[in-house]
A = this chain, B = another copy of it.
Amino acid sequence: MTEKTSTLQDVARIAGVSTATVSRALSYPGMVSESTRDRVAKAVQASGYRINRTARNLRTQRAHSVLVMLPDLGNPFFSTILEGISRSLSNKGYSMLIASTHQVHATGERLVDYLDDARADGMIILDGGLTADTVRSLEKPPHAQRILFACEWIDDMDFPSVRSENRRGTSTAVRHLHSLGHRKIGHVTGPQDNVLTHARREAFEAEVKSLELPLPPEWIIQGDFTLTAGGLAAKTWLALDDRPTAVFCASDLLAFGFISELSRHNIKVPDDVSVMGFDDIGLAEQFIPPLTTMRQDRLRVGETAANMLLNRLEGNKDESDEHMHVVPVSLIVRDSTAAPP
């Protein structure tokens, strides 16, 4: 019935040493003699001592936790990234706090509060669409050093970041379609004002241009990363006089929605049109048809993000101190792409 957990004092008393010695025995074993090390170890064992992290945090002025900020917790795209972040953090004894942008907004909290009130040492932001106000408060010196963007980022600001190879991924996708024989390639974009949308769209246009393919403006269809938008895009595609024979979607969900809607109209993928996604989420492999897509290594994005942030927080300049880390993407060819009809 250990009603109250025991403290350093208890351990010190049992071991017959001072609290300072116990603290050192635990944190810097090399600083104490072997015999006291043993005695302390036994005392810890006997008392079931667990360090009180709150006390440690207060004294050391660290929270030993990192806040992860997402646009929307309900979106499954982020869960694997979280898994990666969580792994790296817990390896180094950090806890992971989670909050969502629109929730913070709703409760009137400011994002920097997490830093200012010592709840978190740093934060990983997965949302490039922060309000201008928020961004302004983040740029200021005491905060800027503690922030890292992952997946998304903010143009014209140089917060450190981890991202996938959006440009190379996009051009790889276009070249894949081209190599299958497609000469009329369309694109369904992400939401307006999103950095990923821009990056992929620009890369798409550049690659199409360099392959000297035609690109009438109506072959670029505005979407927003969701299933629903994919369905709408399919309707737009159906209404075209001159339809692309292949479509590169900016996300897998878009591609799913696109294909689903087409199948309602009895149009077959890949027989009638080839469709590609971006992300390689879990369902892509099981979808009908299994989806050709660009795989983002979300686990690695997460792990890298956490490691980079921790290195900065702990001032490990030695570790390869990049400002922007780009994680490779890879082409996963499945059955949703084929030669044009």
Contact: A86 with B98, CB < 8 Å? yes
Which of B3, B50, B109, B263 touches A141 (beta carbons < 8 Å)? B3
Is A282 at the interface (CB under 8 A from chain B)? yes
Instruction: Point out the residue from B58, B82, B264 that lies within 8 Å of A288, measured CB to CB.
Output: B264
**Residue A330 at the B interface, CB < 8 A?**
no
Let me know if A99 and B96 touch, CB within 8 A.
yes
Contact in complex: A50, B116 (CB < 8 Å): yes
**How many A residues are at the interface, by size bracket?**
35 or more
Contact indicator per residue, chain A 58-69, by CB within 8 Å of chain B (1) or not (0): 100001010000
Stretch at the interface among A70-78, A147-155, A182-190: A70-78
How far, in angstroms, from A83 to B227 measured CA to CA in the complex? 20
Contact, CB under 8 Å: A86 / B58: no
Residues from chain B with a CB closer than 8 A to the CB of A53 are: 117-119
The answer to whether A95 and B82 touch across the interface, beta carbons within 8 angstroms, is no
Give the shortest distance, in Å, between A205 (CB) and chain B (any CB). 29
Q: In the complex, what's the smallest C-beta–C-beta distance from A131 to chain B, in angstroms?
A: 18
CB-defined contacts of A78 to chain B, threshold 8 Å: 79
- List A residues 273-304 near B (Cβ within 8 Å): 282-283, 286-288
A255-285 contact mask (Cβ, 8 Å, vs B): 1 or 0: 0110010011000000000000000001100
Residues in A103-119 with C-beta less than 8 Å from chain B: 103-104, 107, 109, 113, 116-119
Pick the residue among B51, B73, B90, B140 that contacts A86 (CB under 8 A): B73
The reply to whether the CB of A307 lies closer than 8 angstroms to some CB of chain B is: no
Q: List the 9 shortest-distance A-B pairs measured between CB atoms, nearest first.
A: A76-B76, A50-B116, A73-B83, A227-B286, A50-B117, A54-B118, A54-B58, A54-B57, A74-B83
Contact residues of A with B, CB < 8 Å? 1-5, 50-55, 57-58, 63, 65, 72-76, 78-80, 82-83, 86-87, 90-91, 95-100, 103-104, 107, 109, 113, 116-119, 140-142, 227-228, 231, 256-257, 260, 263-264, 282-283, 286-288
Q: List 28 A-B contacts (CB under 8 A).
A: A1-B140, A1-B141, A5-B142, A50-B117, A51-B117, A52-B58, A52-B117, A53-B117, A53-B118, A53-B119, A54-B118, A55-B118, A58-B58, A73-B79, A73-B83, A74-B80, A75-B79, A78-B79, A83-B100, A87-B103, A90-B99, A90-B107, A90-B109, A95-B119, A96-B97, A228-B286, A256-B283, A256-B286
